[in-house]
Structure 1
């Protein structure tokens, strides 16, 4: 929940509680009891019950006995965003072009706190590995796109972001040393791209570049990834980096034609 000191006077707590409940019902917790919901979102059982009943009445939550779950109606919220922003018209064709050329997978993500959120994705991969579907979020420090996005923050924001980071190992190769992460992000700033190997999950080697707006601010990140062992960071830099940069530039030029997408990707 938001720190009370950061809340504007018009802040509606009941709405925030309901949204927190919707976010809590994810892939790791597809169903929860009332007490589990209350504990997960740090609410009293009475407050959680009121929010759950409201969301159930609105059709966004259903229940199986004493366990609550999301309903298909929740998809209308995501589809409305997808349709209003022009993601299908602008971003998806660019990703399809990259996948047609290189195979593997390509994604676009934005920064949300210490996580990245995937807003567009195309893949030909079918192996068992971390999912990169639209809407999924992962720790930014362990992804190539996250490192690009953090590298693009203004100096003060970047230092504050690093100071508040509490990295946890996701694989035996995940870098969790704050000093080393800071050094790697500074290297990303200098190079204009990031590469990662098995940082988020075993088998993922990726390269990412920034997407910048007309003012030069990094507003999103674009990546291309493949299987560790079949590709190397050096090969990705040699073969894919020029195309990624060209694609990122093309997307940036299109933002002026799609004002909602430009606002969504704004700093």
Structure 2
């Protein structure tokens, strides 16, 4: 059977993207071509910026012939390109897809000028993030200096449990959901300070819930401290989180609690007015 023939045979059962939740198998309302196109786009990453048809096929489970057509379409629309006909890369135009969504979020639009004003005043980096699956996604950011080896920007993702913003958001989720999320955690010793087991992580999240803020002291990267607070709607839902990150040499944990926390809470209260 050729690639083309196998692709058409597979058409009736749209594949679920292996890196996230897939569609309900057999749902006649699912547009298979769209599912595949989105899966192909998500197959690109910081670690795999240039990929081949075979690599995408292996990663997504989509037949090579279908991957080839997706890439052909993305290239024709200006979203992807290839120089050698073998390895494909996404072009900057792909950013309009994500930025159009992020820019449509009222909270993100309201937060950006506020973050910039605070960042300029304190000369520290501020960010706003939401929970998406087991990650946080940055939806607004004001950086006065690069404080991590990772280049964070709007749209960047980090594992929620290993970030201050993720922990304040998880602290406000229902207990059953929180336990389910914690059961999926794969622990990575980013530094010697990183929490290494579920019991310690659960205890820390409960402490965050009680105090209303989270401090990450060099758990994700040596030399980086961050503090975060939730942005809570009138009904008590934490829709987003606000944080400041700084070099450990600039701010101690005590400095963050005494100096930064009141400003964060004031900004979060302002932003909560457009979060509900």
Please give the TM-score of this superposition, normalised by the length of structure 1: 0.88
* C-alpha displacement of 1:159: 1.4
Deviation at residue 249 of structure 1 after TM alignment: 0.7
Give the 5 Å matches for 1:133-172. 133-172=153-192
Contact 1:129 1:203 in 2 (8 A): no
The C-alpha deviation readout for 1:143-177, integer Å capped at 9, x for no partner, is: 10010111111122111111222222222322121
Distance 1:244 1:125 in 2: 19
Distance 2:43 2:113 in 1: 32
Which moves more between the two structures, 13-22 or 188-197? 13-22
1:170-196 Cα distance to aligned partner (Å, 9 max, x none): 223221211100110011000000000
Give the superposition deviation at 1:128: 5.5
**2:125/2:143 contact within 8 Å kept:** yes
- Kindly report which structure 2 residues correspond to 1:10-159, keeping only aligned pairs within 5 A, or say none: 10-65=29-84, 66-86=86-106, 89-126=109-146, 129-159=149-179
Whose helix proportion is higher, 1 or 2?
1
Preserved contact between residue 227 and residue 245 of structure 2 (Cα < 8 Å): yes
Rate the CA distance shift 1:220–1:7 in 2: closer, same or farther, 3 A: farther
TM-score calculated relative to the size of structure 2: 0.86
User: If you compute each CA radius of gyration, which structure gives the higher value, 1 or 2?
Assistant: 2
Residue 174 (structure 1) aligns with: 194
Once residues 130 and 4 of structure 1 are traced to their aligned partners in structure 2, the CA distance between those partners, rounded to angstroms, is: 32
Structure 1, unmatched stretches of 5+, are 256-261, 263-267
2: CA distance, partners of 1:115 / 1:71:
24
CA RMSD of aligned residues (A): 2.0
Higher relative contact order (CA 8 A, sep 6+): 1
Native 8 Å contact 1:115 1:137 kept in 2 = yes
Q: Secondary structure at the match of 2:104?
A: helix
- SS for the counterpart of 1:183 is helix
Match of 2:212 among 174, 182, 192: 192
Residue 41 of structure 1 and its aligned partner are, at CA, apart by 2.4
Mind listing any 5+ residue stretches in structure 2 that lack a counterpart? 1-16
| CA-CA distance at 1:107 after TM superposition | 0.2
